[in-house]
Structure 1
């Protein structure tokens, strides 16, 4: 790739080059905001998404066949999403694809999935819900590739990945602990939680995990909608931060 001033500034020892990606991101409010938006969503979805298999098994009397059907259906949704991205590509303003896609992901993949008590509902939830992450991830990747100069993308994208995935080792532990010690016992006993939500998710094995799916889905949708409304530096990132090719005259070394 063509050398840029920023790329040259990031050169140095191993530690300096490793830290450069983080410095680059933290110096750009829009990119940092977009990254933290996805970190937050990764954390929220991990609090229920980690329970996919145990939830379905509890709800279906340990039916591995239904688990297999739903898992396959989710993969079909991802394939459909990939085809739609190839044919349409999403909204011209890519942040619109991100916010709308994430809100719909929260509804279908978390709320509707948690509400489901039968195979048809779960299949609808995961097929439709599996489409939108392809759009949101594709739109996000396009923004990063447009805004970050090619000769620093390796360092910046590595830092981005470290930050984005930092919550993933934590969420399965938290999700399991919540299910085992809070939501599942509470929904199967005479507690305020079961009195409030048993009409919605029942009070049988799996009801606590269903409630986790629904509550995290509500939180997931809320983060997407509220970020769109109250974070203009993310919503308008594409216009406020120039593309790297528009800065070449400034960045290219003479």
Structure 2
């Protein structure tokens, strides 16, 4: 899978559900938090969410350059095991990192769907009055 069409389909599949998740998340927060507190609560939520982005970008760059790219060079153990999926050589480590992030996101979504507390949050938490 190093061809452009494969990566385009993967990127579209990844990004397709993000607006649905974000809008559902926002709707729940707006229903559960009293209007007079929404500004502070939603701002704090946004701040904590956004704080993780620079850390994630820094970690991604370091992992790609220092761990995954060297590990996916021809002859390396990881390249031998996973090279048939993402290829070997330059760019293969980043591809493997993207696939790993996609798999972790899928696992997190499956956990959320399987969690009764998360799945029934709309009925468990009362709406603001």
TM-score of the alignment, normalized to the shorter chain, above 0.5: yes
Q: How far did 1:166 drift?
A: 2.2
TM-score, structure 1 normalization: 0.48
Q: How does 1:1-254 map to 2 (within 5 A)?
A: 116-229=1-114, 231-244=115-128, 248=129
Provide Cα deviations, 1:25-46, integer angstroms capped at 9, x if missing partner: xxxxxxxxxxxxxxxxxxxxxx
Q: How far did 1:159 drift?
A: 1.1
- What 5-or-longer segments of structure 1 have no aligned partner? 1-115, 249-254
Q: How far did 1:142 drift?
A: 0.6
SS at match of 1:203: coil
Q: How far did 1:127 drift?
A: 3.3
Rounded Cα–Cα distance in structure 1 between residues aligned with 2:11 and 2:69: 23
Q: How far did 1:175 drift?
A: 0.7
What's the C-alpha RMSD, in Å, of the aligned pairs?
A: 1.5
- State which structure, 1 or 2, has the greater radius of gyration over its C-alpha atoms: 1
- What 5-or-longer segments of structure 2 have no aligned partner? none
Structure 1 segments (4+ residues) deviating >4 Å: none
